[in-house]
Amino acid sequence: MTINEIARRSGVSKGAVSYALNNRPGVSAETRARILAVADQLGWAPNRTARLLSGSRTDTFGLVLARDPRTLANEPFYMEFVAGLESVLSTRSYALLLQVCVDLDSELQTYRKWTSERRVDAVVVVDVRVDDPRLPLLAALELPAVFVADPSVTAASTTVWTDDTAAMDAAVAYLVGLGHVAIARVSGLDDLSHVQIRDRAFLAAAAAHGAVGRIHVADFSAEGGRTGTRALLEGPDAPTAIMFDNDLMAVAALSALAELGVAVPSQVSVLAWDDSTLCEITHPQLSAMSHDVMGLGAHVARRLFDLLEGAPPAAHLDSTPRLVVRGSTAPVPSAG
């Protein structure tokens, strides 16, 4: 069956058929209904045409990532997160529509397009910012959404979050317990709310536990990890322990430290965040603040279905990252 046959039986052009089947403007409501009815009779994508005729669900959720594709290609977090989403979506015959965008403006435009074309039933929103423009836009579009963020920045929206403040305090307390009082943190993109929350928690924990905390702003990339490590070690008051905002930067830091002739962990301790498989294939293996990223994705997927079933907005704590000690952390080297 072809578009030509649908056009012939409907008495319209192929272009009109394309507009109707894709739910785009360009044909009258009467013509659209006639084309969809013919397509349905002929067995042309019956599920799609039925949805368009009835206004029912698309059986699709959306996820937009406004990140550098080069970083996404190497970053384990989103691969694990998407796998977690799919582990639940696949059991309900739902699809995931994934779009990578160059910036936030492109992401906003994607939501407008998806809504106008009825492409998705709901979306997952990540990398939330303070005063994020996506919150009012999605509310105006009436597009259901689950936000992966601290509830302090998502108003009354449905949110799934991890307690990074408690985790950061535990991480700093562990390093101070090893004797480290000069501790640095290489952070991710500093316009993201979860990075800001970790930054504040890090400085507060360092002060509370009697350490001096320093932050070097990076971007979650391997190059950011290498550059941040070199800047900290080659500058004044070099730290004896460095924490990283993800595993990729921590892995890159190991190579930078080796190039500088700095031994891990006898001279500098390294602590990663997320605890992907990357942490177990390095030498030494990386200590990390660990949480189940696949489990987080699965949790978010379940909340998406709850939204479609009419659940009221709520904040849902997924987990608190926990310390996993491996070979990259050790007591501070003794003077002399």
Q: Is the pLDDT of residue 48 over 60?
A: no
Rg (CA), the chain: 25
Report the predicted TM-score, pTM, of the whole model to 2 decimal places: 0.82
pLDDT computed for residue 8 by the predictor: 87
Question: Residue 64 and residue 146: Cα distance in Å, rounded?
Answer: 12
Contacts of 174 (CB under 8 A, 6+ apart): 323, 325, 329
Copy the structure tokens of residue 285. Answer: 């293996």
What is the share, in percent, of the chain residues with pLDDT greater than 70?
A: 95
What is the band of 44 on the pLDDT scale with cuts at 50, 70, 90? Answer: low
Question: Residue 271 and residue 250: Cα distance in Å, rounded?
Answer: 7
Query: How many residues would you count in the chain?
Result: 336
What is the band of 50 on the pLDDT scale with cuts at 50, 70, 90? Answer: very low
How high does pLDDT run on average in the chain?
92
**Structure-token match 């702003």, residue found:** 217
β-bridge partners, 176 = none
Residue 265 and residue 330 in contact, taking contact as beta carbons nearer than 8 Å: yes
What is the share, in percent, of the chain residues with pLDDT greater than 90?
A: 77
pLDDT computed for residue 276 by the predictor: 96
Rounded mean pLDDT, 263-274: 98
pLDDT computed for residue 46 by the predictor: 43
pLDDT computed for residue 53 by the predictor: 46
Cis peptide before 265 (omega within 30 of 0): yes
pLDDT computed for residue 47 by the predictor: 47
Q: Is the pLDDT of residue 1 over 60?
A: no
pLDDT computed for residue 70 by the predictor: 85
β-bridge partners, 214 = 184
What is the band of 55 on the pLDDT scale with cuts at 50, 70, 90? Answer: low
Q: Is the pLDDT of residue 45 over 70?
A: no
Q: Is the pLDDT of residue 334 over 90?
A: no
| CA end-to-end span of the chain | 82
pLDDT computed for residue 54 by the predictor: 47
Rounded mean pLDDT, 106-110: 96
DSSP letters for 235-282: SSS--SEEEESSHHHHHHHHHHHHHTT--TTTT-EEEEEE--GGGGSS
What is the band of 116 on the pLDDT scale with cuts at 50, 70, 90? Answer: confident
Residue 94 DSSP code: -
Convert the pLDDT of each residue in 162-218 to its tens digit.
999 999 999 999 999 999 999 999 999 999 999 999 999 999 999 999 999 999 999
Q: Is the pLDDT of residue 122 over 90?
A: yes
Longest dimension (CA), the chain: 90
Choice among 61-65, 205-209, 332-336 with the minimum mean pLDDT: 332-336
Residue 220 and residue 246 in contact, taking contact as beta carbons nearer than 8 Å: yes
Rounded mean pLDDT, 252-281: 97
Question: Residue 3 and residue 14: Cα distance in Å, rounded?
Answer: 6
Convert the pLDDT of each residue in 274-324 to its tens digit.
999 999 999 999 999 999 999 999 999 999 999 999 999 999 999 999 999
